Chain A
Amino acid sequence: MRANLSAALLCAAVLSCGSVLAQDPSPAPPSLSQGRGFDEQGGAALYANVCAACHQADAKGAVGAAAYPALAENGNLASPDYVMSAIFQGIGAMPPVGRMMSDAQAADVINYVRTHFGNRYDDAVSAADVTAARAQFGSGR
């Protein structure tokens, strides 16, 4: 099982490099978590495997009958509270995916999007900030 899984992930990673390179120079490889929470560690891996599902690998968002907003160069990200409320409470078409992350994971991915894709917000959130935000937003919506 373990060997097969590694093979699958390797396969997927190779594929990913082939198809996504054109859009993003450094995509984290695809992964699949084992339990009810996300296993990915670090902002880049969490972004690539969770956020990118909707906001896309290049963070430029997508538009259909309604939209996933671009996170790239997004002024709303200036407010850490806004981002924390979005991932713990959900907003628009966004489900509260932060509920499947630890405080450290949530902090990592928030800090990642706020310092990548043309965003330059250096006031990093800590896991403790996230703990407080989760208590505030986590049961809403």
Chain B
Amino acid sequence: MEMRDLFTRPIRATRGLRRMTMEPSRALSRRDLFALIGASAGGAAMYQAMTSLGFAAESPYRGPIKLEGDPKGASVVILGAGLAGMTAAIELGRAGYKVQILEYNSRAGGRNWSLRGGDDYTELGGATQHCAFDEGLYLNPGPWRIPYHHHALLNYCRRFGVTLEPFIQLNHNAYLHGAKAFGGKPQRIREVKADFEGGIAELLAKATRQGALDEAVSREDKEILLVALRVHGGLDEDFRYKAGDESAEFRGYARDPGGGLGAEPVNGEPIGMHDILTSRLWRGLQSFLSYDFQTTMFQPVGGMGRIGEAFARQLPNAIRYGAKVTGIRQDEHGVAVAFEDINRGGAVEEVKADWCVCALPLTILSQLPLNVSAPMKAAIDAVPYSSSVKIGLQFRRRFWEEDEHIFGGISYTDLPIRQISYPSTGYNSGGKGVLLGAYVWNGPNAYELTAMSPDERIKLALEYGAQIHPQYRAEFETGVSVAWHRVPFILGCAGDWTEATRAEHYDNLCQIDRRIVLAGEHASYIPAWQEGAILSALDAIARLHKRVLAA
């Protein structure tokens, strides 16, 4: 479900570096160049350079799974009707298994979920919010964007008829904002990006021309590098980044070119390197450079929840809703799952099957009686879940478009709301819109916002958001918030692995334990993303199927 906060991403940065160090040393001078770019421009620029050369890995999905061979009527009980559980059910069903899913909620999808006008949502603690959004407007509390390289998810969307549209991750006209940067005035991403890269290019050109890189690049490469820096960075013929036609090509104009008399454009003065560095606004650029967020990204038309709905349509009569699993027991003959029927006052029932694919979140599974090996139990207990809060705000006017010419995309801020995302649909149509008014991932603010009442969360989202968009005060209509640690069906957001916990527990978590195998984003190397859930399920059932045929 991807929920990233650019200001708290040390693990992913490490992963990027590891990718680099694992790359065979086929181009030493190029790696030196990366290191230099990294030293002068920061990890984001280095990562951009690396990914542009294809160093980052893609989803290993290679097309629809083929489970060949007759399972001879074997049965599988699947726990959880999120994307992992439903993927397993759909594919095992097609391969000839008898499948049944137990789902706690009264809907399928799990974290794949859209809150729409008319929906009621009751969080742990008992607060109920009545979502009062207008027709067609929604908040995706969980996953909200799909990278182009999440091949499995995209393939299922194609097969199940889920219509996609572009999700705008990078909008050059959205803002980067720091409470203490530039007097609290939001800066256009376009200008920060162009001026940061232009400033870096100028510095690197200077170092290159002074001979500082002579040991790292050949004389021939040096000439090409200088040309590249000038063209790429918007430098003038003297390798300076300053107000002029070259920089305006990237950063835009103080006054745009027009028509008729007095139409000549006016170039703007770039932000100086010192001001960009000390403002820390450059940190926001990483969210547009890293592999997970590169264009093209997608969203389903009508809300992310359309995907879960489409999966569920493939499983008529296979999902038992309102089933709260209370215990899982296996022996040499099969698996018995005890559950309470929430719709019948918690009446206890039991499902028996030959095998079990358990796609329950670890926050739930770690609290259930379950007889698995000690190493798997230790793994189940080892992974805390990240904390996250999203707040959706409906405004009576799309002021971000009408007043500020921001069509989709995300503004990043160091305020507790962290970001404001503008709807990637319905552009330029007038009327109302719903902004993602806060998206907080881990760290103190996620817990503090979770501890507040829904009204308090919205009050704060409005107060902070108005520092970036003063129109908030006049145009706000209604809002809804989801704090993931208070979501009754999961009690957390997503598996929060560290390198240490992965090394100790990940393989143990993914092993088939006699008749039980786990699936979900927590059993993947793409945690918090839907792709991880699907790939985990496909891998689990492929191994399970092999075991069934061998039995």
Q: How many A-B contacts if CB must be within 8 Å?
A: 139
A97's partner among B447, B490, B492 (CB-CB below 8 A) is B447
Interface string of A2-32 (1 = CB under 8 A from B): 0010011001100110011000000000111
Nearest CB on A from B468, distance (A): 11
Nearest CB on A from B378, distance (A): 10
User: Cα distance A103–B483 when bound, in Å?
Assistant: 27
Size bin of chain B's contact surface: 35 or more
B463's partner among A7, A50, A94, A97 (CB-CB below 8 A) is A7
A53 within 8 A of B: yes
Contact A139 B490 (CB under 8 A): no
Contact A38 B384 (CB under 8 A): no
Contact A1 B125 (CB under 8 A): no
A111 within 8 A of B: no
User: Cα distance A6–B161 when bound, in Å?
Assistant: 49
Nearest CB on A from B446, distance (A): 8
User: Cα distance A56–B453 when bound, in Å?
Assistant: 11
Interface string of B296-333 (1 = CB under 8 A from A): 00000000000000000000000000001100000000
Nearest CB on A from B335, distance (A): 19
Q: Contacts A36-B443, A96-B384: A19 and B180 contacting too (C-beta < 8 A)?
A: no
* Residues of B close to A20: CB separation below 8 A: 453
Contact A68 B491 (CB under 8 A): yes
* Residues of B close to A92: CB separation below 8 A: 363, 366-367
User: Cα distance A52–B328 when bound, in Å?
Assistant: 30
User: Cα distance A112–B193 when bound, in Å?
Assistant: 48
Nearest CB on A from B144, distance (A): 22
Residue of A nearest to B124 (CB): A62
Contact A94 B384 (CB under 8 A): yes
B522 within 8 A of A: no
B467 within 8 A of A: yes
Give chain A interface residues in 112-141, CB to chain B under 8 Å: 139, 141
Nearest CB on A from B184, distance (A): 6
Residue of A nearest to B325 (CB): A65
User: Cα distance A30–B486 when bound, in Å?
Assistant: 17
Report the stretch among B13-21, B197-205, B397-405, B454-462 that lies at the interface.
B454-462
Contact B492 A93 (CB under 8 A): yes
Contact A12 B452 (CB under 8 A): yes
* Residues of A close to B452: CB separation below 8 A: 12, 16, 30
B27 within 8 A of A: no
Contact B445 A33 (CB under 8 A): yes
Contact A4 B463 (CB under 8 A): yes
Contact B448 A30 (CB under 8 A): yes
Contact A54 B485 (CB under 8 A): yes
A90 within 8 A of B: yes
B106 within 8 A of A: no
User: Cα distance A24–B201 when bound, in Å?
Assistant: 59
Interface string of B361-377 (1 = CB under 8 A from A): 00110111000000000
* Residues of A close to B360: CB separation below 8 A: 65
Q: Contacts A30-B448, A49-B448: A65 and B455 contacting too (C-beta < 8 A)?
A: no
Contact A53 B485 (CB under 8 A): yes
Nearest CB on B from A4, distance (A): 6
A106 within 8 A of B: no
Q: Contacts A8-B460, A95-B384: A64 and B453 contacting too (C-beta < 8 A)?
A: no
Contact B492 A95 (CB under 8 A): yes
* Residues of B close to A65: CB separation below 8 A: 104, 324-325, 360, 364, 488-491
Contact A38 B491 (CB under 8 A): no
A83 within 8 A of B: no
Contact A93 B448 (CB under 8 A): no
A110 within 8 A of B: no
User: Which among A31, A48, A65 has the greatest number of chain B C-beta atoms within 10 A?
Assistant: A65
Give chain B interface residues in 130-181, CB to chain A under 8 Å: 179-180
Q: Contacts A54-B450, A56-B125, A139-B500: A12 and B490 contacting too (C-beta < 8 A)?
A: no
* Residues of A close to B125: CB separation below 8 A: 56, 62
Contact B463 A8 (CB under 8 A): yes
Contact B451 A48 (CB under 8 A): yes
Q: Contacts A67-B367, A95-B384, A95-B496: A49 and B443 contacting too (C-beta < 8 A)?
A: no
A75 within 8 A of B: no
User: Cα distance A107–B257 when bound, in Å?
Assistant: 63
* Residues of A close to B64: CB separation below 8 A: none
Interface string of A60-95 (1 = CB under 8 A from B): 001111111000000000000000000000111111
Interface residues, chain A, CB within 8 Å of chain B? 1, 4, 7-8, 11-12, 15-16, 19-20, 30-33, 35-39, 48-54, 56-57, 62-68, 90-97, 100, 139, 141
Interface residues, chain B, CB within 8 Å of chain A? 8, 104, 124-125, 179-180, 184, 324-325, 360, 363-364, 366-368, 381-387, 416, 443-445, 447-453, 455-456, 459-460, 463-464, 467, 483, 485-492, 496, 500-501
Can you list 10 pairs linking A and B with CB atoms under 8 Å apart?
A: A8-B459, A12-B456, A53-B483, A57-B451, A62-B124, A64-B487, A65-B491, A66-B368, A97-B447, A100-B443
Task: Supply 16 further A-B pairs (C-beta < 8 A) apart from A16-B452, A95-B496.
Answer: A1-B467, A4-B463, A4-B464, A11-B463, A35-B444, A51-B451, A54-B486, A62-B125, A65-B488, A66-B363, A66-B366, A66-B368, A66-B491, A92-B366, A93-B491, A95-B386
